[in-house]
Amino acid sequence: MSETIPVAVLGAAGRMGRTVVDAVEASADLELVAALEHGDDVDAVGATGAQVAIDFTVPAVAEANVRSLVAQGVHAVVGTTGWTAESLARVEADLVGRPGVGVLVAPNFALGAVLAMAFAARAARWFESVEVVELHHPDKADAPSGTARHTAQAIAAARREAGLGPVPDATTTALDGARGADVEGVRVHAVRLRGLVAHEEILLGNAGEQLTIRHDSFDRVSFMPGVLHAVRQIGSHPGLTVGLEHYLDLG
């Protein structure tokens, strides 16, 4: 009989956590050994035998959770958004003392969303204008979404590399927020609407043409293949990785 991977889920009663628990329990090669919620002790995860912990909690606690997991030698697959460059740097510093431990922070585990981000980054150098629109359920805490930030950062990097200047925008007067958030020079707009789950559009414009790249998650099961892939692969990815694209052979 082949061995199973012992898995802990943090945020187990949340919208994502419940879906992850179901997905782990339905996977013959994974074993759910711990399901933690607000108030439970993350420092006790290692003692459950978990090799991998999956974190879908809230931005305010994700860094502390991950740093505790790293200290216990437990790999962390993290979907929680709201990370800053500083919080990622602290995790990376902790990992120096824990060679072999992997942390994946992925703003989106839906394979289509990862591809949409990759396609947008690839297209970015060929367009004068670009804006990102993300659309989510109204119970979401953070705006703009982690996915939209990651998308805009990748587009901004591609534009810099191609030597493109700022996107054209003649706005001189605007109501606060009318032009969205500025993420490294890329405007990002956040819609919150009952009925939605998670959606993103990247609009790329040139004189006389527009390319629209759109991804829709209609159900949280869309994130599960990416989460399970990461749990199975993280043992081969020591150190800090940001973005599921690094676990996929996108060519």
Ligand X SMILES: O=C(O)C1=N[C@H](C(=O)O)C[C@H](O)C1
Could you list the residues that contact ligand NAI (CB under 6 A)?
10-11, 13-17, 36-38, 40, 56-59, 61, 79-82, 106-109, 142, 146, 223
Residue 175 identity (one-letter amino acid) = L
Please give the residues from 145 up to 204 whose contact with ligand X meets the rule CB under 6 A: 145-147, 198
**Closest residue to ligand NAI: CB criterion:** 14
Q: Out of 38, 75, 140, 189, which one is annotated catalytic? A: 140
Cβ burial 197-217 (10 Å sphere, 16+ → b, else e) = bbbbbbbbbeeeeeeebebbb
Provide the minimum distance between the beta carbon of 209 and ligand NAI in the complex, in angstroms, as a whole number. Answer: 31
CA distances from 132 to 33, 145, 243 (A): 39, 11, 18
Residue number, 79 or 180, with CB nearest to ligand NAI: 79
**Residue 109 region by backbone torsions, left for phi larger than 0, else alpha for psi between -120 and 50, else beta:** alpha
Q: Determine the 3-state secondary structure of 112 from DSSP.
A: helix
117 is known to lie in a ligand binding site: no
Q: Is 229 designated active site? A: no
Provide the minimum distance between the beta carbon of 144 and ligand X in the complex, in angstroms, as a whole number. Answer: 8
- Under the binding rule (CB under 6 A), the answer on residue 81 touching ligand X is yes
CA distances from 84 to 43, 60, 235 (A): 23, 11, 24
Residue number, 4 or 48, with CB nearest to ligand NAI: 48
Distance CA 73, CA 49 (A): 11
Distance CA 171, CA 174 (A): 7
Residues binding ligand X: number (CB under 6 A): 9
Q: Is 140 designated active site? A: yes
Q: Which residues are annotated as a binding site for NAD(+)?
A: 11-16, 37, 79-81, 106-109
Contact positions toward ligand X, by CB under 6 A?
Answer: 81, 107-108, 136, 140, 145-147, 198
